[in-house]
Amino acid sequence: MSTAEREARLLLSLIGEPGDPRLTGLVADLGASRVLAALRDQDEHGELRDSLTERLRSTRVEDVVAAATRRGIRFVTPLDDEWPVGLDDLGNGPVLHERGGVPIGLWVRGPLRLDEACAGSVAVVGARSATTYGTGVAGEIGAALAEAEVGVVSGAAFGIDQAAHRGALAVRGPSVAVLACGVDRAYPAAHAELLRYLADVGLVVSEAAPGWAPMKVRFLARNRLIAALTRGTVVVEAAVRSGALNTANWASGLSRLLMGVPGPVTSATSQGVHQLIRARDALLVTRGAEVLEAVSAAGAHTLPSAQAPADARDRLTHLQRQVLDAVPVAAGASSRSIARTAGLTDSVVREALGRLDEAGFVERAGGRWRLRSARYPPRLPGMALEPP
């Protein structure tokens, strides 16, 4: 990218609203230099030109760049080496809520390379007013992903976002916060320390220029970045009207894997997630290992099928179970009586009872058989119960 094109993108980033499809579309079609020249000539793009003229006149690029450099903030553009290629999908993706398009550039703060931190990463998003259950699950997912060196991307908000970032940071894994304000601002203010730490060891990213305040439309624009930067999105707790669902819509529209963590069916906080799962838009996941299995290449992080632990009774043959079910609990019975109850011959039952006695399932007293006392459980695997 030429120096002129880069400088044009930098200036357009300082005057244009994040995700404004009019601006991102023009830049994608014409290039930043031509769009900026047209704005300065004031002979084209009337409505867009009018909304940007005042910012164009008042913006001092040199001052902004100098202040950003002092704070360790850099501007990354689509043709820079560290640009995440996943963001380019926004050029063909849906324009939800009229906030779309490939970003003109991103303001980045932190030591990691943006492309490497986001390669194969997973977004974890959800309710700000999260429950203890939700934050616990989000934290576990964040930690499990980070331990596997999978980047965790979220928005640094209260609730699920915070828990996901903290889970990743707790195991010293990569984490990226995508903001709806300048990367030099702490929003929410209570997360100033979290954002400072993320800027020290991870990344803080925004399409909004340094110093810009958070606004609702900027959150909607920010959500598309979270979805596009990542391989998949996990929604942990989201009501039927939720910003997290906006991110989920972007993930689906960009053909990213969408996952949802179920909550109590009575919880309003999880109704939005349940709707995603019910509509089959989202894969149901309950823990970090399942998320890893879903986003990993075939054969990597594969989980065994869930099943109860095997016990001694699982080692019995079908015939031995049939005999065991016919043995009384307390009052003993003869082998002949047990045979009648089981519907088997006496010789078959006597052989089975001998093996069940050997394994500790039954006991014999006075020539009569009964189940062995619960105080003396059957012996665990080690003795073959199958007939020789």
Residues 317-345: tens digit of each pLDDT: 999 999 999 999 888 999 999 999 999 99
In a domain? residue 2: no
- Same-domain check for residues 237 and 97: yes
Average pLDDT over residues 193-204: 97
- Same-domain check for residues 337 and 220: no
Domain encompassing residue 342: 312-371
pLDDT at residue 294, rounded to an integer = 95
In this predicted structure, the answer to whether residue 307 has a pLDDT above a threshold of 80 is no
- Same-domain check for residues 327 and 196: no
**Among 110-114, 284-288, 361-365, the least confident range:** 361-365
Q: Is the pTM of this model over 0.85?
A: no
Number of domains in the chain: 2
pLDDT band of residue 257 (cuts 50, 70, 90) is: very high
CATH number at residue 322: 1.10.10.10
CATH number at residue 155: 3.40.50.450
- Same-domain check for residues 263 and 364: no
In a domain? residue 304: no
pLDDT in tens, 101-155: 999 999 999 999 999 999 999 999 999 999 999 999 999 999 999 999 999 999 9
- Same-domain check for residues 362 and 247: no
In a domain? residue 17: no
Count how many residues are written for the chain: 388
pLDDT band of residue 52 (cuts 50, 70, 90) is: confident
- Same-domain check for residues 225 and 147: yes
- Same-domain check for residues 350 and 240: no
- Same-domain check for residues 131 and 213: yes
State the CB neighbour count (10 A cutoff) for residue 306: 5
Phi, psi angles (nearest 5°) of residue 326: -90, -5
In a domain? residue 158: yes
pLDDT band of residue 100 (cuts 50, 70, 90) is: confident
> Strand 368-371 and strand 362-365: pairing?
antiparallel
- Same-domain check for residues 245 and 367: no
In a domain? residue 253: yes
For the record, the structure tokens of 233 come out as 């999105």
- Same-domain check for residues 148 and 189: yes
For the record, the structure tokens of 279 come out as 């509509």
pLDDT at residue 300, rounded to an integer = 79
In this predicted structure, the answer to whether residue 2 has a pLDDT above a threshold of 90 is no
Contact criterion met (CB below 8 Å) for 230 and 122: yes
26 versus 169: which is more confidently predicted?
Answer: 169
pLDDT band of residue 374 (cuts 50, 70, 90) is: low
In a domain? residue 20: no
- Same-domain check for residues 135 and 208: yes
In this predicted structure, the answer to whether residue 93 has a pLDDT above a threshold of 80 is no
In this predicted structure, the answer to whether residue 255 has a pLDDT above a threshold of 70 is yes
- Same-domain check for residues 134 and 194: yes
In a domain? residue 282: yes
Average pLDDT score over the chain: 90
In a domain? residue 107: yes
